Amino acid sequence: MGASRRLARRAAAVVAAATAALTLTATAAPAAGERGAAPIDLRLIGINDFHGNLEPPTGSSGQVVLADGSRVAAGGAAYLAAHVRQLRAQAPNAMLVGVGDLIGASPLTSALFHDEPTIDLMNQLGMIASPVGNHEFDEGYRELERIQWGGCHPTDGCQFDNPYTGARFPYLGANVTFASSGAPALPPFWISQVQGVPVGFIGEPLKDTPTVVSADAIKDLRFADEVRTANRYADLLDRLGVKTIVLLVHQGDNTEGGGPDDCRTDPGPARAIAEQVSPKIDAVLTAHSHQQYVCWVNDPAGQRRPFLQGLSFGRELSVLDLKIDRRTRDVLRDRTTAFNDVVTRTVAADPDAAALVDRAAQKAAPLANRPVGSVTTDVVRAAAPSGESPLGDVIADAQLAATTSAGAQVALMNPGGVRADLPYHSGTPGVPDGTVTYGEAYAVQPFGNILQTMTLTGAQLKAVLEQQWQPQPGGVTVRVLQPSASLHYRWSAAAPVGSKVSDITVNGQPVRPDASYRVTVNNFLAGGGDGFTALRDGTGVTGGGQDLDAFTGYLGAHPNLVPPPLDRIAVTT
């Protein structure tokens, strides 16, 4: 069956089955014995933005900042599974859900096997449903169908499980339709039961998925507004007698710091969704921004409602404790509690999850542990106030070096494509400190993007740099492109959006608006990804190699790499 049909048929089947199964539920009166009975306790445990981090993540990606500002090591599938087990043991009824980006942009231990080990882990943990995130589309809809249903990879075959049997939980996408037909591309919701009471989960990726995914990967898909779509399906579930409804939405806010349960978030899309979706929705689990927060808002009817997110890479689990009235079958909102559980590594590792991770690591080891370079200290992706980061600069330098034959004078790297630090200390037996392995390089650059070199005028280059500040409802999204050493400029914090950048130089010479410059970016940016639509105006495009090959080649050519000084971008107030 074609990729454009099988998940679509499942989407239609979910709605039809729910209608048939719940028609009687919608009209049935509660049993006499239920009146006055104690409410049903339900614990929801959420995982967001796991990104295939089976092994404990390293550097800052493997730490959680606590409320007092201290840091604790966190993450790793075996510890994640142990925490899930503990959280389940504390509650009479518990359900595990995802909030998207379980796979994609993954370290080599998972990515080498097209993330099948991560899906095996989620199956092992008993996940009941997850929306797709943007990274579930990294390899396109056809590969998402294979991840859902199973089967060997069409190019690489079955290298981990033979056969690979697929996800035992449904991937949801209420707001995802086929452009060609308008039909649902994914199931919109899922219904589970707790002590005979239905619980509905509506799942959605962010509506802006086309801005953060390669256009080829989603070329026949459309992504609708999250609020309008969630409201439509909340109404449907309500008519079918489902009164306890949770929204799982792969969208998130940024924070101003604080511990796991803090709520110092910037006004953003997740808060807007949580405030605006139907009062029939009792709670909102969010994702995408890799932040930690537990927040409360008032819904359109003035009822208190939580929305929360638990960092990324398996470092936290978001926990919602609900009490459901047996008579109304709805959540008693004033008795809801929520918190983020830090996945500490001080607990005993779960043996089944540990065995799964060990198997994946051993299979990946010959490639993952191959040395490709060396560093003198940690090379981190954390940005300075200017937005520039040491690792981002190194990647841009690597991409420039790899495309000089195409006449490249400048390279620009999107910060979201820098996925992990390059650590100095080795956590692998037999690998000396300072060694950069292929697995570590892959964790930094996991997408396999193709480098493209294009010609831009000086005016177009300035327009690209101005698009680093993008107005959004509730504020401005800032994505500072990481520049090669050949590019310098200044930006003003006080200047208005569209006029922030000045004093641009290339190889020490001022950029002239009418002059031509050869600029290298990856194919994601070249297609207008992350809102950099000005790059679509580039001409004379020349294809290059993969970004990872450029990165590993540069590391090999520069042993004992020292982080470059952060002097390419200057800031004025």
Range of lowest pLDDT (119-123, 367-371, 541-545): 541-545
> pLDDT tens, 85-103?
999 999 999 999 999 999 9
Contact 259, 66 (CB under 8 A): yes
**Given this chain, do its domains 41-342 and 372-572 carry the same CATH topology?**
no
C-alpha to C-alpha distance for 21 and 240, rounded to whole angstroms: 9
SS3 for 263? coil
Q: What is the pLDDT of residue 254?
A: 86
The amino acid that residue 482 corresponds to is: Q
Q: Where are the domains of the chain?
A: 41-342, 372-572
Q: What's the average model confidence in pLDDT over 312-316?
A: 97
SS3 for 170? coil
> pLDDT tens, 267-311?
889 999 999 999 999 999 999 999 999 999 999 999 999 999 999
**β-pair partners for 379:** 422
Residue with tokens 């569209």: 498
* Phi and psi, residue 397, nearest 5°: -60, -40
Lookup: tokens for 186: 């994914």
Sheet holding 509-510, edge to edge: 509-510, 501-506, 487-492, 569-572
The CATH homologous superfamily for domain 41-342 is Metallo-dependent phosphatases (3.60.21.10)
Q: What's the average model confidence in pLDDT over 252-269?
A: 89
Say which CATH topology domain 372-572 has.
5'-nucleotidase;  domain 2 (3.90.780)
Predicted confidence band at 18 (pLDDT cuts at 50, 70, 90)?
low
Predicted confidence band at 354 (pLDDT cuts at 50, 70, 90)?
very high
> pLDDT tens, 66-83?
999 999 999 999 999 999
Residues 15-50 as b/e (b if ≥16 CB within 10 A, e otherwise) read beebeeebeebeeeeeeeebeeeeebbbbbbbbbbb
Q: What is the pLDDT of residue 26?
A: 40
Q: What is the pLDDT of residue 428?
A: 86
C-alpha to C-alpha distance for 253 and 247, rounded to whole angstroms: 16
The amino acid that residue 20 corresponds to is: A
Lookup: tokens for 251: 């969208």
